[in-house]
Amino acid sequence: MSIVVTGATGHLGRHVVEQLLEKVPAHRITAVVRTPGKAADFAERGVRIAVADYNDPETFEGLFSAGDKVLLISGNEFDKGRPGQHQVVLDAAKAAGVALFAYTSAPGSLTASLADDHRRTEGAILASGVPYALLRNSWYHENYTETLAPVLEHGAVVQAAGQGRVASAARADYAAAAVAVLTGEGHENKTYELSGDTAWGFAEYAAELSRQTGREIANNTVPAETLTGILTGVGLPGPVAEMLAEVDTSIEKGELAVTSGDLSRLIGRPTTPISESITAALRS
């Protein structure tokens, strides 16, 4: 029996594999990747590397075995039909008779179009009859802390979320929840609403940036259309920019302020405060 992680060299996948290595022998972990060279460090530590692509169903044939626990990390190719990509992995898992199929989804409260692919995938998972665990990850701290350069350059946080609040958490926190589910018992057919312990607002975020940098960082609210234009202006594809602006609209409505406590309960500790992720980002 293996614990199989798809997208294992991505931002979240790397955290998951690293934390799995702290809990189970390396030979029990299979990292599914598209580019094996990116997983060379895992291979050197004894992790099994499997090369497969969501867009090529044949690459998943025979990849899983009966009794495996699988983590499907949702694809990030928004223009390639993610539900269809996810179905490829689900079909292979069902055919193999895996013990658990965990999926990184979106918050149940989110109505933005970003959630549409996730809802379709969840529906397919439930219809498949495969034992599942839905990990409905809320927003990541890193969605903001990895894009600090323009904020610091212009001295302003620019957002279309108004007074909305975000119960985000660090990627490592969400990875720890996935590891808890993959290595624990009793998670079959469960849905977890995963979010940070405390929701924060953008005025607080700008104030924390000001405190840590010693500079005055403003908090500027703009219409969603303006934010879309700003994001496309820095190189984001139009559909992605529109999607992110739409998420800000959802934040303004309070859809990402939900704090269920599921995440801290699964990982057995408080979630990482946004201030800690800001500190780490500024150091790097």
Convert the pLDDT of each residue in 199-214 to its tens digit: 999 999 999 999 999 9
Domain ranges for the chain, please list them.
3-140+170-196+259-271
Domain 3-140+170-196+259-271's class?
A: alpha beta
Is pLDDT at 78 greater than 90 in this prediction? no
Q: What is the pLDDT of residue 240?
A: 87
Q: What is the pLDDT of residue 11?
A: 95
Q: What is the pLDDT of residue 75?
A: 84
Q: What is the pLDDT of residue 248?
A: 97
pTM of the predicted structure, to 2 decimals: 0.96
Is pLDDT at 189 greater than 70 in this prediction? yes
- Arithmetic mean of pLDDT over the chain: 96
Query: What are the DSSP calls for the chain, one per residue?
Result: --EEESSTTSHHHHHHHHHHTTTS-GGGEEEEES-GGGGHHHHHTT-EEEE-BTTBGGGGTTT--TT-EEEEPPP--TTS-HHHHHHHHHHHHHHHT-SEEEEEE--TT--SGGGHHHHHHHHHHHHHT--EEEEEE--BTHHHHTTHHHHHHHTEEEES-TT-EE--B-HHHHHHHHHHHHHSSS-TTEEEEE--SS-EEHHHHHHHHHHHHTS--EEEE--HHHHHHHHHHTT--HHHHHHHHHHHHHHHTTTT----SHHHHHHTSPPPPHHHHHHHHHH-
Q: What is the pLDDT of residue 79?
A: 62
Is pLDDT at 161 greater than 90 in this prediction? yes
Is pLDDT at 109 greater than 70 in this prediction? yes
Mean pLDDT of 130-157: 96
